[in-house]
Amino acid sequence: MKLMGRDITADKLMAYVGQRLRARGLSASSGGQDVVPGVEPRVDPLSFNLDALAEHADATRGVPVETHRAGLAGRMVRLAKVTFRRVGQVFLNEALARQVLFNGHVRDSYAQLSAEVLRLRERLEALEAPQAPPRAPPARKPAKSRRPTR
Could you read off the pLDDT of 103-148 as tens digits, one per residue?
888 888 888 888 888 889 888 888 887 776 667 677 676 666 666 6
- Per-residue model confidence (pLDDT) at position 47: 75
Residue 34: pLDDT over 60:
no
pLDDT-derived band at 2, boundaries 50, 70, 90: very low
Question: Could you tell me which residue, 37 or 101, shows the higher pLDDT?
Answer: 101
Indicate if the pLDDT at residue 1 is higher than 60. no
- % of the chain residues with pLDDT over 70: 68
Distance CA 28, CA 34 (A): 9
pLDDT in tens, 80-96: 888 988 888 888 888 88
Q: What is the pLDDT of residue 32?
A: 47
DSSP-assigned letter for residue 88: H
Contact 98, 60 (CB under 8 A): no
Residue 70 zone, left/alpha/beta (φ > 0; ψ -120 to 50; rest): beta
Summarised one tens digit per residue, pLDDT across range 8-17 is 677 777 888 8
At residue 148, the pLDDT reads: 65
| Higher pLDDT pick, 74 / 144 | 74
CA distances in angstroms from 93 to 12, 59, 62, 96, 110, listed in the order given: 57, 8, 10, 5, 24
